[in-house]
Structure 1
Amino acid sequence: MKYLPKLHQLKVFQTVIRYGSIRAAAREMKQSQPALTRSMRELEDTLGAVLMTRGSRGIVLTEAGRAFAARMQLILEELERAADEIQQINQSSQGNIAVGFSSLPALTIFPPALAQFKSRFPKTNITVLEGQLSTLLPFLREGKLDFAIGTISPDVPLSEFIEEPLFKASFCIIARQGHPLEKCTNVAQLLEAKWFLPATSMGYYKGLESLFSNLYQALHHAPIRSDSVVTALNLILNFDYLTIVASAMLPALDINNRLCMLPITDPLPQASYSLIYPRQRPLTLAAKRFTEVLHWESQQHSWAKD
């Protein structure tokens, strides 16, 4: 290829994809439709490929268009990160951070880490996505998250990421106070229970699957699966469901002392939590600062040192 595409051409293509037509993109970018059409034609000439066709309902990406769009998006996001980091270095901005994690970090290490970080960098914009690592990995790959915190195990594919271990956490089965099964001591006694279980099977959940594998066929009620803490609490407190959570989450969840931990003697899985980010995309200065605070905060909890 003799010439590389121009940045403006990439931004035009991105906007056309986002709004579905050249007319809508021109209106959004406050440019004339012929100007955007010319930019798209020049981009296709530079690449030597047709990127899209025009249909009755707007533009349709070709195979080449879809392939180029995916890589173009990564390029544009990385350019934005680079510009953002330069601003941080020049102290004209304190940056933007997008982070993802599951419920345990959200309820324990994140709030104090956020308070500590914001006291030093109050103007930093922070976006949070809550979910299990299986949900967060695609966002990391696409550049929509700077880093994520989640449970790590041999079945989690991390070759393209850098992993920084944070802590380990033990798990327990919880119910509402006064639940008919609250004094059960082994999982086999819980066949009649209604279960709320995580939707993913990655990380420590793999051990959970092994624990329950022999019981699934015998359960009287098929488990409800979701990663929503709000849904779990509603079903536990009002509809007598059981669930399994990190033991450290119980104090944060049990605001009015309405929950109890079942005295299960069966060995429950222990989870290893790590902070991960793409190997090929270094952390921005703001994101690196925040990870340092999260590392420090994760070591302040006694449950994280077991």
Structure 2
Amino acid sequence: MKLHHLRDFIAIAETRSIRGASRRLGLTQPSLTRSLRELEAELGTPLLERHARGVVPTPIGEAFLRRTHAAMEEIRRAQEEVGQLRGRQTGAVAVGLSGATWLGLVPGVFPAFRKSHPGVRLHMVEGFFPALEGRLADGTLDFYIGPRPERIDADHYSVELLFENERLVAGRKGHPRRNARQLAELVDAEWILTGAREPLEREFADVFARYGLTPPVAMVQAESMIGVAALLSMTDALALLPRQWVESPLFSSVVEVIPIAERIDSADIVRIARAGLPLTPAAAHLATLFERAAGHYTHQRGRPATPR
């Protein structure tokens, strides 16, 4: 089994056709067909099969695709690491970031990384860990920063705490409930369902139940920052938002905090990476910049940094 066998198999599986893989790799279709047959012969089993929607992996092919994709990503990282250790500005870093991370930490991290690594391509993806775990597992992403998931496989991932977080009640500028000082005064308001942990309804209800209140029924769910900002700015609905959202210029220009007395905790912000696999020098430097930004952010809030 050679590297070109793995490369060709991945291309065929991802493009769902020999023709698509041929265009992607710049190779002839007969050579790709031959490569696939050699790989299947060595493994002793079919990896792909034809369907109406194109060529798709068999169940064994799906498992093999996950492994080969991760292996090829590690080989790419190894090549980039050698170049970076030799002082070359090369390669790429890909990270998954939650909305709170984008708004609270990226503004300080991005210019520092571009200054220190101008030749390294940076790919940042928005999302929560459950949606991005597959891309972290197969090596597409170097690491993730965002709310700690309720469940995580400690054998496969390392988790580093950056800071504890909280949520605030937010509504549009001049909201009719802006003078409320207790959560109980907002139970009968219209709420937009947001959150970081599934099911969102339970996470939302737990906030009110903690203070002995009957949870309101949120009839609207929004899963994008822009969608939440638009709904809040144009209606009298309220939402529980991470502090970083409300403090960012994107939101602070259209919404305001309703300063209730109760503290509403949110999931800790953590960095998650694959266990046992070192980051490239460029990715490690980016991780360090995020750690420094988290420490600075915590200090600005007047709270001591949380020990890791």
> Shorter-chain TM-score: what band?
0.7 to 0.9
Residue 131 (structure 1) aligned to one of 108, 127, 131: 127
Partner of 2:94: 98
The 5-angstrom pairing of residues 190-209 of structure 1 reads: 190-201=186-197, 208-209=204-205
Question: What is the letter of the counterpart of residue 232 of structure 1?
Answer: V
Is 2:242 aligned against 1:246? yes
| In 2: Cα distance, 1:203 partner to 1:95 partner | 38
| In 2: Cα distance, 1:198 partner to 1:255 partner | 15
| In 2: Cα distance, 1:228 partner to 1:246 partner | 13
**Local SS of the residue matching 1:196:** strand
Partner of 2:301: 303
The structure-2 alpha-carbon separation of the partners of 1:242 and 1:44, relative to structure 1 and needing over 3 Å to count, comes to same
* Equivalent residues of 2:46, 2:58 under 8 A apart: yes
Alignment RMSD, CA only?
Answer: 2.6
Is 2:266 aligned against 1:259? no
Query: Deviation at 1:148?
Result: 1.1
* Equivalent residues of 1:195, 1:223 under 8 A apart: yes
Query: Deviation at 1:251?
Result: 3.0
Question: What is the letter of the counterpart of residue 152 of structure 2?
Answer: P
Partner of 1:289: 285
Partner of 2:11: 15
Residue 231 (structure 1) aligned to one of 203, 227, 231: 227
| In 2: Cα distance, 1:113 partner to 1:290 partner | 8
The 5-angstrom pairing of residues 1-306 of structure 1 reads: 5-55=1-51, 57-152=53-148, 155-159=150-154, 160-201=156-197, 208-212=204-208, 215-216=214-215, 218-219=216-217, 222-253=218-249, 257-301=253-297, 302-303=300-301, 305-306=303-304
| In 1: Cα distance, 2:133 partner to 2:295 partner | 24
| In 1: Cα distance, 2:89 partner to 2:267 partner | 37
The structure-2 alpha-carbon separation of the partners of 1:111 and 1:6, relative to structure 1 and needing over 3 Å to count, comes to same
- Larger mean CA deviation between 279-288 and 47-56 belongs to 47-56
* Equivalent residues of 2:90, 2:120 under 8 A apart: yes
* Equivalent residues of 2:89, 2:117 under 8 A apart: no
* Equivalent residues of 1:161, 1:277 under 8 A apart: yes
* Equivalent residues of 1:147, 1:275 under 8 A apart: yes
Q: For 1:270-304, what per-residue CA distance to the aligned partner results, in whole angstroms no more than 9, with x for missing partners?
A: 44211111103221111101111111121112227
Query: Deviation at 1:121?
Result: 1.5
Give unmatched runs, 5+ long, in structure 2.
none
**Local SS of the residue matching 1:276:** strand
**Local SS of the residue matching 2:260:** coil
* Equivalent residues of 2:165, 2:265 under 8 A apart: no
Q: Percent identity?
A: 28
Q: For 1:56-87, what per-residue CA distance to the aligned partner results, in whole angstroms no more than 9, with x for missing partners?
A: 55323222222211211111111111111112
Scaled by the length of structure 1, the TM-score of the pair is 0.87
